[in-house]
């Protein structure tokens, strides 16, 4: 992929996404709007992986749901024997479109705080509809480590 915009224009339901050489199928695509108006796409993939784009930094977050019991605080924390630096907290609402069936529907809200340690990424949050914790752990993936094969 050349850019996040290129990625967004080429991905659809059932697309095959290749991340670091391994192939996944897109099960749901959600367009989220952050409090500040920024948009990002979150793709729910096969094998319970999630790929979220980051337009500002031109990379992806490749994460999987985890249970942490960590407090959600605006300070560094330790997870998986690594120190994570606090990045930001945000609220987001499912924006104009949802493709496919899955966890979220239009109008759902999630709140989260994100943390980074080198190329690893940790997001601690809640699904505000269910008040269920939605903690994610994974890594930052460069643009050239992701490819899209169109779905049917």
More confident: 93 or 56: 56
Q: What is the mean pLDDT of the chain?
A: 89
Task: Examine the pLDDT at 151 and tell me if it is beyond 60.
Answer: no
**Tokens standing for residue 122:** 């940790």
CA distance 93 to 96: 9
- Total of domains in the chain: 1
DSSP state string for 44-102: EEGGGEEEEEETTTTEEEEEEEE-------SS-EEETTEEEEEEEEEEEEEEEEEESSS
- DSSP assignment letter at 24: E
> What is the pTM for the complete model shown?
0.89
pLDDT digits (tens, 9 = 90+) for 76-126: 999 999 999 999 888 776 656 787 877 677 777 788 999 999 999 999 998
Lowest mean pLDDT among 7-21, 95-109, 123-137: 95-109
**In whole angstroms, how far apart are CA 121 and each of 7, 15, 56, 114?**
21, 24, 16, 7
Domain that holds residue 80: 4-149
């Amino acid at each position: 992929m050349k850019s996040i915009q290129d990625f967004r224009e080429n991905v659809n339901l059932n697309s095959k996404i290749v991340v670091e050489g391994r192939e996944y199928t897109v099960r749901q695509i959600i367009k989220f709007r952050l409090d500040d108006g920024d948009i990002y796409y979150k793709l729910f993939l096969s094998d319970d992986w999630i790929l979220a784009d980051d337009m500002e930094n031109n990379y992806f977050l490749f994460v999987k749901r985890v249970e942490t019991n960590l407090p959600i605080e605006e300070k560094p924390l330790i997870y998986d024997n690594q120190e994570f630096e606090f990045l930001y907290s945000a609220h987001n609402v499912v924006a104009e479109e949802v493709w496919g069936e899955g966890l979220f529907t239009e109008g759902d809200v999630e709140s989260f705080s994100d943390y980074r340690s080198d190329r690893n990424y940790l997001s601690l949050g809640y699904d505000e509809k269910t008040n269920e914790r939605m903690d994610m752990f994974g890594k930052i993936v460069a643009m050239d480590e992701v490819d899209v094969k169109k779905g049917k």
